Structure 1
């Protein structure tokens, strides 16, 4: 290590990391879009973090898991149930200067992950959280924001959030519909349960429900 760098404080070291990666081009490719993969982000900063003896310690403070089950049929028209698990993690990401372990920076953070089987929800949320923490903490620019659609299995996207879920349920019941029928409607419109919707599609659904409400009130 450059001895000058060794005597920097933790803030100065993190600035050195930020200087190293001002921009990332989307290299991975999904079915429709290119995106910045988790491994690409980590590879971009790992060497400099090692050089500066910086450690990032993630810690889960709280978890919230929502499960939604949708009734459908398979290709043989047999009844089928699919349960989707939406995992939310409240986290802290702590930077530690290994040259001076008392020199730390603790950052509150949030992550989310969606899984069908259920057991991978936390892992997906941690991958999502680490990737976006690096991008946002170091102000790393990419070509454009990742699109709101499912990408390859190693990359996660912005999914529906709890605020949107609550708003959709309130609008839906306010229109006189029963909450248990909500998943049937999203499955009909988008081929997904409520918690499987992306943030963008959820917002579109909210606007449609608001439009229905306005029409009903003026009728």
Structure 2
């Protein structure tokens, strides 16, 4: 298999990653979580991934407002800016690879900023190349993939018959092949569309 086929096999195996890290007031996906989910599939399908730094610069220290309002004081936090090529390599034919360019920034008051930047770049490339869905929790993943119940299908079937709707056209409108494939979260909208057709017929 070429590298694209191998990556596609990983996409089939790894579908979703849960946000596991709190950053200030929002949730994020950590590098370790992404690696933990993807590593076995990468090993199984013979893909080696590694970062190559293209450029990097540590910006000079700045200043910040003093807490007592007396003016400004030196700010120990320094911004590091790096550009990287993240390589996805076919281990059986190393010339067969995909390389993704990612730019990353990181703040730190010590020597950890360069490491943070390359970690962020690698995580971003994995998420984008594998087209991984991220969510707040497992429940959000279930809600995203849950389809309508049998009772809801029957209800829509009755409405289709009642308003003499064009079934094929209605399914194309919903972008599904059958009512059983309708996402549960789209049921209300589908029902409303049919009821609207009934109201126009009654007018």
Distance 2:41 2:119 in 1: 20
* TM-score computed with the length of structure 1 as normaliser: 0.55
CA-based RMSD? 2.4
Is residue 140 from structure 1 mapped to residue 132 from structure 2 by the alignment? yes
Give the SS at the match of 1:101: coil
Size of the alignment, in residue pairs? 135
The 5 Å alignment of 1:1-219 reads 8-30=1-23, 32-73=25-66, 80-117=73-110, 119-143=111-135
- Any runs of at least 4 consecutive aligned residues in structure 1 with deviations exceeding 6 A, and if so which? none
Distance 1:31 1:88 in 2: 21
Distance 2:23 2:95 in 1: 42
- Conservation of the 8 A alpha-carbon contact between 1:74 and 1:80: no
Counterpart position of 2:184 = none
Given the superposition, is the C-alpha separation of residues 109 and 27 from structure 1 closer, same or farther in structure 2, using an over 3 Å criterion?
closer
Give the SS at the match of 2:16: coil
**Deviation at 1:27?**
2.8
Larger radius of gyration: 2
Distance 2:62 2:42 in 1: 43
Unaligned runs of 5+ in 2: 137-203
